[in-house]
Structure 1
């Protein structure tokens, strides 16, 4: 009897240890203090920040950058609302951040990248690291310097050994995923020509479509972001030579010109895009979409038809690179936004019987190509569709 209980306790303890490993461990923050003199600062003028867990063993010259997400601000009012939060000030950031998933140092949960130098770049500029306005408005004391922040952090990491990289990935989630697309070739150019350098966007492929009222809501919003932050000069020239700068904030007009290999992890039912691009509050004054946006199971047949139309628009937007051998894809049918946190966990969605972690690892190391597009919702039983609370995910 006692032996049975001891065995049960040991099994429980083993499960707890496994769960704690899966949920990650904490890494201290690093402030780039010398960036302030260069004007490379967060919205409030505080220094940029990142978290670094050093590589070891045969991963000592391999580097993985993960850029934090957090939306954008499109004018002084919305940027001021971020100024006293972690999305606008490094003073408000936690001093320790949990590393898990693609940032884990445990080979059981991150077999391909566990011993790389793993960096989480904190996001505090509201422009996906594209802004650079010299003047500081005395009325707001806001600094629009995202591009300088990106450069300052990269300079520090290069000095810490990234200049000797043999393998490297720049990745990001949501607005960070967009940054990994917009800065993909720039990151490639910073590293040795002999290095294997690739890019990974998680939930960062935001598309240009009209909302349910027929208005170009997201197109106007992005144009305002670019104008407010002075982003035009830091967007890919291959796009701005053809289109207005605001249009070049959309991956669909940029990605076909990217020279470095890139992996797109996204859903064509991206819950953030459904909530903010397809059916933003401004386009739904009577709240007819409110319940549907909280839980896809609440959507009416007509709303599901509209969402299937959005899926078609998304697939058309990624079709510009669907035949490229440089591009990998994990395009599932889950109602979610940003999925890299699932990684190798038991609840990772599957495509071709493959987890997100396996797909990215196979693609990066060229064990086999991975380019899978799921069938239409609700066909994938491995999806765990997001259910939002009424106060989750503020509208843009």
Structure 2
């Protein structure tokens, strides 16, 4: 049972490690964690702590982190009815788009296994407790660490800076290792990830499906991965410029889905909205309509707001004025339009709630708790489970803010 002290500590401050800002390399906070509070009581979960496994065979394949260290993952074995089921979760954590930002990144856990935590607690969709994760708690659950800065797509290097862009090789080496660990015998498998890991999930979804025999049930869950090719408050496309830098620096183009690059430029194919229409594998898109990461870094970045008029709104949705909310409603409409065709397919699922948040599948309080966000009276874990096991409705789209009273909004304690 969750203790009051645990709950209090979670309410006071939670470290949102995956909110790594894709700003200019000169920004000192590029790869720092961000501290936030929520407007709902947060539950940290009681999941098991799982040790880090470094992939020893990766070095010979050139599958290394930005600094040349070995990649790794955390695996907690399944049991009972889940012994032959596999959940592979791709870690998020932003990107690096130039040599300077990648050099900075390789000095931390997002660019080097030398700095990774040796144990991670599995919560939310990774929890081993049925009361916290009813459908996947007894599966083989894997957290794949993210240390390439390019959503597992890079293929290149910068010798003078001591940088290795080997994301695609890391992906392949990790999958090879997991298959050898027993994943080849899976009767069902789910690839998931949030934020940059959500992008990775979409970009690698069909590739993941291709690892398994045709009679294996394989699906993908992308959480907070719908980064839109949108115009910011100054009329610029900061996110497109940033993604273009990543693709060019890391040589990502050859790893992006051919179903997209055969009809669009490579940078466009780093945007999930241009990839999801052609995904063959059943996929579930979980996203907030007002993604706070995108609000802070691509919709109203500080570079587009020199007078600081959006400062309060960036930090707390309750501080947004009517004109700002109108702009954000336009962003919501773009989000809904981006998934409209995808949503029409019977095999796909969506859960887009009108919350100011980012990543909801790995946080216990938003995944499955007594006060978790709901649409159609379904918590996120229930909606995802119904979709995966084909138990019922798989399409949930919220009304516009502020109609949803179940949201766990993120409120930041400093400007970003």
Q: Same fold (TM over 0.5)?
A: yes
Point out the structure with the larger strand share. Answer: 2
Aligned to 2:386: 362
Q: 2:312 aligns with which of 281, 285, 291?
A: 291
Q: Distance in 1 between matches of 2:110 and 2:80?
A: 34
Find the structure with the greater CA-based Rg: 1
Q: Is 2:13 aligned against 1:26? A: no
CA-CA distance at 1:210 after TM superposition: 0.9
Q: Distance in 1 between matches of 2:335 and 2:3?
A: 40
Per-residue CA deviations over 1:91-150 (Å, capped at 9, x if unaligned) read 0001000011111111121121111100001111111101011xx323210000001001
Q: Which runs of 5+ in 2 are unaligned?
A: 8-42
CA-CA distance at 1:252 after TM superposition: 1.1
Q: Determine if contact 1:26/1:99 at 8 Å carries over to the other structure.
A: yes
CA-CA distance at 1:245 after TM superposition: 0.2
Q: Is 2:37 aligned against 1:16? A: no
Q: Is 2:86 aligned against 1:63? A: yes
Higher relative contact order (CA 8 A, sep 6+): 2
Q: Distance in 2 between matches of 1:190 and 1:281?
A: 43
Q: 1:99 aligns with which of 110, 122, 137?
A: 122
Q: 1:351 aligns with which of 351, 375, 383?
A: 375
Per-residue CA deviations over 1:224-246 (Å, capped at 9, x if unaligned) read 11111100010011111111100
Q: Distance in 1 between matches of 2:103 and 2:371?
A: 38
Q: Distance in 2 between matches of 1:181 and 1:200?
A: 8
SS in 2 for 1:337: coil
Q: Distance in 2 between matches of 1:268 and 1:85?
A: 31
Per-residue CA deviations over 1:282-311 (Å, capped at 9, x if unaligned) read 111122111110000011111111111111
SS in 2 for 1:245: coil
CA-CA distance at 1:23 after TM superposition: 3.0
Per-residue CA deviations over 1:352-385 (Å, capped at 9, x if unaligned) read 0000010000110001131011000010000121
Q: Determine if contact 1:181/1:255 at 8 Å carries over to the other structure.
A: yes
Aligned to 1:167: 188
Q: Determine if contact 2:65/2:113 at 8 Å carries over to the other structure.
A: yes
Q: Distance in 2 between matches of 1:155 and 1:116?
A: 19
Aligned to 1:388: 412
Per-residue CA deviations over 1:260-285 (Å, capped at 9, x if unaligned) read 10000001101111111111111111
CA-CA distance at 1:21 after TM superposition: 8.9
CA-CA distance at 1:15 after TM superposition: 4.9
Q: Determine if contact 1:347/1:384 at 8 Å carries over to the other structure.
A: no
Structure 1 residues 21, 278: CA separation in 2 closer, same or farther (over 3 Å shift)?
Answer: closer
SS in 2 for 1:311: helix
Q: Distance in 2 between matches of 1:173 and 1:167?
A: 20
CA-CA distance at 1:181 after TM superposition: 0.5
Q: Distance in 1 between matches of 2:159 and 2:192?
A: 35
Q: Determine if contact 1:60/1:116 at 8 Å carries over to the other structure.
A: yes
Aligned to 1:6: none
Q: Determine if contact 1:40/1:145 at 8 Å carries over to the other structure.
A: yes
Q: How does 1:24-173 map to 2 (within 5 A)?
A: 24-133=47-156, 136-173=157-194
Q: 1:334 aligns with which of 347, 355, 358?
A: 355
SS in 2 for 1:158: helix
Q: Determine if contact 1:22/1:345 at 8 Å carries over to the other structure.
A: no
SS in 1 for 2:248: helix
The total of aligned residue pairs comes to: 377
Q: 2:326 aligns with which of 305, 326, 349?
A: 305
Q: Distance in 2 between matches of 1:328 and 1:213?
A: 34
Q: Distance in 1 between matches of 2:204 and 2:354?
A: 27
- List structure 1 segments (4+ residues) > 6 angstroms apart after TM superposition: 17-21
CA-CA distance at 1:168 after TM superposition: 0.3
Q: Determine if contact 1:255/1:321 at 8 Å carries over to the other structure.
A: yes
Q: Is 2:252 aligned against 1:265? A: no
SS in 1 for 2:260: helix
SS in 2 for 1:190: coil
SS in 2 for 1:197: strand
Q: Distance in 1 between matches of 2:237 and 2:45?
A: 41
Q: Distance in 1 between matches of 2:308 and 2:375?
A: 34
CA-CA distance at 1:347 after TM superposition: 2.9
Q: Distance in 1 between matches of 2:60 and 2:306?
A: 46
Q: Determine if contact 2:193/2:200 at 8 Å carries over to the other structure.
A: yes
Q: Determine if contact 2:91/2:196 at 8 Å carries over to the other structure.
A: yes
SS in 2 for 1:387: strand
